[in-house]
């Protein structure tokens, strides 16, 4: 058979169409949340936040060698590839689970329906808001989802070989290797293991007694898990981003087990529990019609594929038990847990594809169109495209990032406007990570020290700044008993006499700086002692150094939580400058800044009017 005839065009489309969608909406540079940190860690092959993500970093690293775009764009491109492969995983699983299904008398039509339904399911998963938003900028979850699809496929292949009396344990060995490897992308792979184990043991419970095969599987799992040795090995080279400096066993375990995160649990009521459970939301991802198709698919094949359906329910239970039950996220942090469910959405999309195949096939049979090739194919194609088209239309605008330069402009503006040799203290991750990338990877303003306040309580972080902290008072106090705010004030007191000290907008309103005045420099503040003779009138010259795009207009569709916050920081900073200038009697300049505030964030118009009324200006 020729290559052209063997080529599965539908399988090819299940990769190329998602990739096209993701490239059309791909972020051109660094974004907020963990983006700047992941890109910086990829560039230097270092260590990202706990648990380090070594497999994701090593996967994305070769893409940084591409001859086009910035390093940030190349890493985003790597994620688009992994997202497209995850969509192919849906296609692979749907076609495999449906290979024995005959819904119409026409075998050729059945084959076309199977592949078309699988492609429709893959495209529905493509355009789901969670995967889409993870695939057009740097995220590890699409990579984990693709690995989950491969593991499920290998286990299904093993189950079929077992039924046929030609068992192939190599499939299980490769699957356990992939499980170990996936821990280096994200630890949610652990939540899938009970589901994988059930698919194996449900064939014959005595399989659990095969000590030799069990030991070999564990060894393959350990071999895959060895990707995590990247963390201590690379830490010895002191890469640019070396989170937790995991050279020692203690530091490695501290890092891998996420010991640096707060463990205080909130008191949970029924409303909070319901909100936590609703972090997994199939109707939001696939629409209510998609949920109906998923349930239909699960119910229709339950008698023939009972283990596959039960395995899905086991995975769902494990995810909710750990993510909603154990993590117990606060109301404002639930949005962070939503990302963890992506592998489960892939599994859900598989049943959506099965539901599409069975419902459309039955419809053609009832309408007696199954023996009329052209009308049947036309109707089937129309119906199959309806769901992914609807999901795409619902989510395109809010997931389009192709003009999203807000994080890059925010970071570069802050760096460009800082005094020579300054120490700049940041607070939130989104206020720090873009700066890390722009300074560390794009080499802008390497004269500055960027200090992240929440990390000042860790010795490993102080080790990264030997010129600042080798002889610091911070080395002589028990940091574990100090709050980040207190440590920040001690560090500022040490550095203020010898260099300019700046804080970002979030720090300004998060820490009480008794004894200091604030010299506003755009969206940052320089600290001045009460006795300093320098005027604290806003430095208007720095605004000329800023280059913010997409502010106050509709050119950029996409707005995530921290992108919106950054835009509000620009607007509030202009509002603050305008009010101070009005207080000084500089009417024209004050009005200009107040107008800018209202243009950048129209929701501040009422605040602007209140300021104008306060100073009697119409």
Instruction: Write out the DSSP string of 344-376.
Output: HHHHHHHHHHHHHHHHHHHHHHHTT-TT-HHHH
* pLDDT for residue 369: 56
Strand order in the sheet with 423-426: 449-452, 423-426, 501-504, 524-529, 516-521
- The pTM for the full model equals 0.91
Tokens standing for 13? Answer: 């489309």
Alpha-carbon span 22 to 395, nearest angstrom? 12
Q: Region 210-232: what's the mean pLDDT?
A: 94
* pLDDT for residue 94: 95
Range of lowest pLDDT (21-30, 261-270, 293-302, 405-414) = 261-270
Outline where 429-504 has alpha helix (H). Answer: 429-440, 459-463, 466-469, 484-495
* pLDDT for residue 533: 74
52 φ, ψ to 5°? 105, -35
Residues 6+ apart with CB under 8 A from 573: 505, 520, 522, 523
Q: Region 328-342: what's the mean pLDDT?
A: 84
Confidence check: pLDDT of 452 > 80:
yes
Query: Average model confidence (pLDDT) for the chain?
Result: 88
| pLDDT bracket for residue 267 (50, 70, 90) | confident
List the one residue out of 428, 433, 404, 394 whose CA is nearest residue 549.
Answer: 404
Q: Region 506-531: what's the mean pLDDT?
A: 88
Helix 193-201 and helix 170-182, axial crossing angle in degrees, nearest 10:
170
Choice between 585 and 315, residue whose per-residue pLDDT is larger = 315
* pLDDT for residue 67: 93
* Distance between start and end Cα atoms, the chain: 81
Tokens standing for 454? Answer: 């929440």
Top mean pLDDT of 135-139, 351-355, 545-549 is at 351-355
| pLDDT bracket for residue 529 (50, 70, 90) | confident
* pLDDT for residue 141: 94
Beta bridge partners of 91: none
| Residue 528 host element (H or E) | strand 524-529
Q: How large a percentage of the chain has pLDDT more than 70? A: 93
Alpha-carbon span 84 to 226, nearest angstrom? 26
* pLDDT for residue 100: 80
* pLDDT for residue 263: 65
Alpha-carbon span 131 to 207, nearest angstrom? 36
| pLDDT bracket for residue 303 (50, 70, 90) | confident
Confidence check: pLDDT of 43 > 80:
yes
DSSP 575: H
Alpha-carbon span 487 to 473, nearest angstrom? 10
Q: Region 171-185: what's the mean pLDDT?
A: 95
Alpha-carbon span 304 to 160, nearest angstrom? 13
Q: Region 373-391: what's the mean pLDDT?
A: 75
* pLDDT for residue 549: 73
Confidence check: pLDDT of 236 > 60:
yes
How many residues belong to the chain?
618
Residues 6+ apart with CB under 8 A from 216: 169, 173
| pLDDT bracket for residue 74 (50, 70, 90) | very high
Q: pLDDT (tens digit, 9 = 90+) per residue, 78-119?
A: 999 999 999 999 999 999 999 887 776 667 777 888 898 999
| pLDDT bracket for residue 266 (50, 70, 90) | confident
Alpha-carbon span 251 to 261, nearest angstrom? 14
| Residue 15 host element (H or E) | helix 9-24
* pLDDT for residue 368: 58
Beta bridge partners of 528: 517
Alpha-carbon span 387 to 291, nearest angstrom? 11
| Residue 69 host element (H or E) | none
């Amino acid at each position: 058979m020729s290559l052209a005839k063997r080529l599965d065009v539908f399988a090819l489309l299940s990769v190329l169409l998602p990739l096209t969608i993701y490239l059309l909406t791909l972020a051109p540079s660094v974004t907020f949340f963990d983006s700047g940190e992941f890109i910086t860690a990829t560039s230097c092959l270092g260590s990202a936040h706990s648990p380090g993500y070594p497999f994701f970093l090593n996967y994305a690293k070769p893409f940084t060698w591409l001859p086009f775009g910035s390093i940030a764009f190349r890493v985003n491109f790597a994620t688009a590839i992994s997202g497209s492969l995850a969509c192919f995983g849906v296609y692979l699983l749907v076609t495999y689970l449906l290979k024995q299904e005959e819904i119409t008398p026409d075998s050729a039509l059945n084959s076309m329906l199977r592949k078309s339904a699988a492609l429709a399911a893959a495209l529905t998963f493509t355009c789901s808001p969670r995967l889409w938003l993870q695939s057009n900028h740097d995220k590890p979850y699409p990579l984990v989802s693709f690995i989950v699809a491969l593991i499920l496929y290998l286990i299904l292949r093993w189950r079929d070989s077992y039924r046929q009396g030609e068992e192939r344990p190599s499939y299980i060995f490769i699957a356990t290797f992939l499980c170990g490897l996936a821990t280096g992308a994200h630890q949610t792979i652990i939540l899938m293991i009970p589901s994988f184990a059930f698919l194996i043991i449900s064939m014959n419970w005595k399989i659990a007694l095969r000590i030799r095969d069990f030991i070999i599987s564990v060894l393959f799992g350990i071999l895959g898990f060895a990707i995590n040795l990247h963390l201590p090995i690379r830490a010895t080279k002191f890469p640019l981003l070396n989170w937790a400096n995991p050279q020692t066993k203690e530091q490695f375990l501290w890092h891998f087990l996420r010991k640096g995160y707060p463990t205080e649990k909130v008191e949970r009521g029924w409303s909070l529990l319901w909100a936590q459970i609703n972090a997994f939301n199939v109707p939001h991802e696939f629409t209510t019609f998609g949920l109906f198709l998923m349930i239909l698919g699960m119910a229709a094949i339950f008698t023939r594929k009972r283990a596959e359906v039960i395995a899905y329910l086991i995975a769902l239970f494990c995810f909710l038990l750990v993510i909603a039950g154990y993590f117990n996220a606060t109301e404002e942090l639930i949005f962070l847990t939503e990302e963890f469910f992506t592998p489960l959405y892939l599994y859900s999309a598989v049943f959506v594809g099965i539901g599409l195949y069975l419902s459309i096939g039955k419809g053609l049979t009832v309408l007696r169109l199954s023996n009329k090739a052209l009308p049947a194919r036309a109707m089937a194609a129309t119906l199959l495209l309806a769901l992914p088209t609807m999901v795409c239309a619902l989510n395109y605008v809010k997931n389009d990032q192709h003009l999203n330069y807000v994080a890059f402009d925010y970071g570069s503006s802050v760096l460009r406007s800082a005094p020579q040799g300054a120490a700049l203290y940041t607070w939130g991750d989104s206020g720090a990570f873009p700066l890390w990338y722009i300074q560390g990877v794009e080499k802008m303003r390497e004269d500055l020290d960027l200090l992240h306040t929440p990390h000042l309580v860790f010795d490993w972080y102080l080790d990264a700044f030997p010129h600042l902290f080798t002889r610091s008072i911070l080395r002589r106090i028990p940091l574990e008993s100090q709050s980040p705010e207190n440590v920040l004030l001690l560090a500022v007191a040490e550095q203020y006499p010898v260099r300019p000290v700046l804080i970002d907008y979030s720090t300004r309103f998060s820490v009480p700086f008794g004894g200091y005045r604030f010299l506003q420099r755009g969206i940052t503040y320089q600290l001045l002692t009460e006795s300093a003779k320098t005027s604290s009138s806003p430095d208007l010259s720095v605004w000329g150094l800023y280059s913010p795009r997409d502010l106050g207009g509709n050119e950029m569709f996409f707005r995530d939580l921290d992108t919106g916050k950054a835009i509000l920081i620009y607007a509030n900073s202009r509002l603050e400058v305008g009010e101070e200038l009005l207080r000084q009697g500089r009417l024209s300049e004050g009005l200009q800044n107040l107008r800018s505030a209202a243009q950048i964030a129209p929701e501040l118009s009422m605040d602007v009017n209140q300021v104008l009324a306060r100073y009697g200006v119409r």
